[in-house]
Chain A
Amino acid sequence: MRDHGRETLAVLIGLAFLLALPFLAEAAGKGFYVTLFTRILIFGLAAVSLDLILGYGGMVSFGHAAFVGVGAYAVGILSWHVFDGSPLMTWPVTLEGTENAFVVWPLAMLMGGLFALVIGAISLRTTGISFIMITLAFAQMLFYLAIGLRKYGGEDGIALYNKSQLVPPIDLFDRTTFYYVCLGLLVAFLAVCRRLTRSRFGMAVQGARINERRMKALGFSPYRYKLTAFVISGAGAGLSGALLANAAEFVGPAYMSWQRSGELIVMVVLGGMGTLFGPVAGAAAFLLLEEWLADLTEHWQIILGPILLFVVVFARRGLWGWVAGQGREDR
């Protein structure tokens, strides 16, 4: 069985480190690490949402970046209308643009979930390679759709004039504030996923990954549970997209590129599939390596490749397996 004490300790140390990071970075005079770790938290959130379907549900979605992009565009488009002063739509009701985070962030999740519902409903009729290819195809469609959005910058995307607004004293332009907002959302999402994966719903989804035939013989209809997991995952990715738009103050089609989807898979595999916390570690490892190795050579992925290979070959449950102990699912 997995060593629960060790895993709990690892989570607490990780959390303590992340809580202290802005102070450490400022004290060391390396404030840009706050920005870098904000990205890590945001990509960590996207990777955790992918782990929900990839690690727990066995659904190898190769189009997860699309949902991140959808969330980012939700923020970007509404913000653009505020800047432009034009309404988002005038029929059947008039909707104005907005930068209120309490509106646009849930909306980003909703849009991520909606797109996941449509894409998942079709893709989940297939399995294996076909599923990978269909999710990839849908993501590419959205990628080119975004390029086609002339009004919203097309290929050039949208530069955000303003960040999302929370309640007044909280100013997301302050990088430390924004960092803690991202950390809070990541922790909340992890807590929700933790409950989910251990609930009846989570058991049904995991059962469908391990032995779908047996699940049907027991009387389960796996499709509906897999689709629900896919939608929840899409909503999580949408939220990370909303944060990404705020972090970069920019939204563009590149967010949805298939390379991005691949990077998210790498983060999950590197960190440890089906571990929830692992993908956060995976995101950190990936983005830190990118940061450090890119100083050495622009072909930094030549170094990343062997590292990834090493981890996959020697650690069945990725980096998190090393940290929290190798082991099978709990229970």
Chain B
Amino acid sequence: MLETRDLYKHFGGLVATDHVSLSIREGELHAVIGPNGAGKTTLIAQLAGELRPDGGAILFDGKDVTRTPVQRRAASGLARSFQITSVFPSFSALANVALAVQAHAGHSFRFWRRAAHDAALTGPARDALELVGLGSRAEVPAELLSHGEQRQLEIAMALATRPRMLLLDEPMAGMGPAEGASMVDLLRKLKGRYTILLIEHDMDAVFALADWITVLVHGAVIATGTPEEIRYDAEVRRAYLGEETV
């Protein structure tokens, strides 16, 4: 469903993405792991369209989207969540998600009807909030939600755009164990319903969820395979897993 061919990106002398070729099949949960600075977020930014690669190609659904701007990629069903929570702080949780619904409900040149009372927006928005477990927090301004709840809100917004594929950038970043566990439950619910590219630090979560894992070190893919293969891959253990001990 999503494919990169020989993707290359450098910042000055630093190679952030070193000839990365990935192939993510429809319905798969594909995790990308790697130590800090491995270029995971840079990779997602290129896939989402916020960064333009210096070389190589990105194909979504077989179509070359390498030069497609971010909003067009999002509109064609490629949704992302952010590592650093990126919501609309002064809007309620419901309004945040309703805005995400609105993004995919045709144009927004509708000047008269009050958006907050528009069931076509708030209906799907409430569904998405229920799904991520924020149903009871709909009216709370996003800035007053806990960190974990804001992470859930991130996911709800991505889901509300009715994507065909999710790019999740460390959804568990900064979460406590309990919050992390409920996020794993949520991702398990989403698995199979969406094609997912997951970037995550939490190894337990990754090995529990992923169908396929790609290991990125210094911008380059050093291994790719099933969780079992990765767990026992000598090079991966040496380069990465060994340091943190799984």
Contact = CB atoms under 8 A, between A and B. Distances in A.
B102 A204 contact: yes
Given A213-B50, A217-B70, A201 B110 contact: yes
Interface in A261-275: none
B103 interface: yes
Given A201-B111, A203-B108, A219 B86 contact: no
A248 interface: no
Interface in A214-259: 214-221, 225, 228
A220 B48 CA distance: 14
Interface string B129-145: 00000000000010000
A-side binding surface: helix, strand, loop or mixed?
helix
Interface stretch (B89-97, B172-180, B190-198): B89-97
B100 A218 contact: yes
A219 B79 CA distance: 8
A183 B79 CA distance: 47
A295 interface: no
A216 B115 CA distance: 19
Interface in A1-57: 1
Nearest to A220: B103
B95 A203 contact: yes
Contacts of B119: none
Interface string A199-210: 111111011001
Given A211-B87, A218-B100, A199 B71 contact: no
Contact of B161 (A196, A199, A213, A218): A218
B90 A328 contact: yes
Contacts of B95: 203, 331
B74 A219 contact: yes
Given A207-B99, A214-B88, A216-B74, A199 B157 contact: no
Interface in B8-66: 48, 50
Interface of B: 48, 50, 69-71, 74-75, 79-80, 82, 86-92, 94-95, 98-100, 102-104, 108-116, 118, 121, 141, 157, 161
5 tightest CB-CB pairs across the interface, nearest first? A219-B74, A328-B90, A219-B75, A218-B103, A204-B108
11 contacts: A198-B114, A201-B110, A213-B86, A216-B74, A217-B50, A217-B71, A218-B71, A218-B157, A219-B104, A330-B116, A331-B94
